[in-house]
Structure 1
Amino acid sequence: MKPLSFKRHRFPAEVIRHAVWLHFRFNLSFRDVEELMAQRGIDVSYETIRRGAIKLGPLIARRLKKRRLPPTGR
C-alpha cells in the first residue's frame, strides 16, 4: 500500500492525522476538535478538519483495520 500523501497541506502530517483521529475515535464534532487543537496551540478551523476527515478519514481507517489483530478463538 502506498503511503498517504500530505502534499499541499498547510499543517504537518502528524497534526492532520491527530485531528482526524480525534474526530473519529471519540466521535467529537469538528468544532470540538478545533477547540482541542487550539488548547494545544494549533490554530486550525473546523472546516479544515472537516475536509481532512472527508479526504483522509477512509484511508486512515482502512490502514488501522489492516493493523488490527484478528479476534481470538475464545
Structure 2
Amino acid sequence: MLRSNPAPRKLVTEQLRSYPAAKAGIPELANVKHVFVKAAARPNNRAENSHQPTRERHMHGFRDPGRTQAFLLTFCPIRQHFALKRRLLRASLYCKQLAARFVAWHEFAGLAQNPSTAF
C-alpha cells in the first residue's frame, strides 16, 4: 500500500518499543519523522466508549447499577416505539408513521395518567 501512495510526513505513535521496530522493517518509512506522544490515561475515550455494551455505556449517568437497570427496562421499549428505520423510509412516510406513533403514545399516556376515565 505504501508503494502506491506517498509516504506520510510524520508518524505519531505512543511510546511503545514495538513501533520503531516495525517502522525499521518498512523501507518506505525510513525517512519519515517519528513523533512519540505520551500515553495518557484515556486518549481514545470516544472510540472506547462506543464499543461498550449498552448497560455499561448508559451507566455513566447513574451511581447505582440497580437504578440503571430499572431505567433501561422502562426506557428501552419506549425508545423502540419511536425508533423508526429512517434510512428505509421516504420523508413523507417517516413523518406520517412518527405522527401516528406519537398519537398512540399520547393516548396511552393519557390512560396511564387518568385511569379512572378509562372505564
Normalising by the smaller structure, the TM-score range is 0.3 to 0.5
TM-score scaled by length of structure 2: 0.22
Bigger relative CO (Cα 8 Å, ≥ 6 apart): 1
Q: Which has the larger radius of gyration?
A: 2
More strand by share: 2
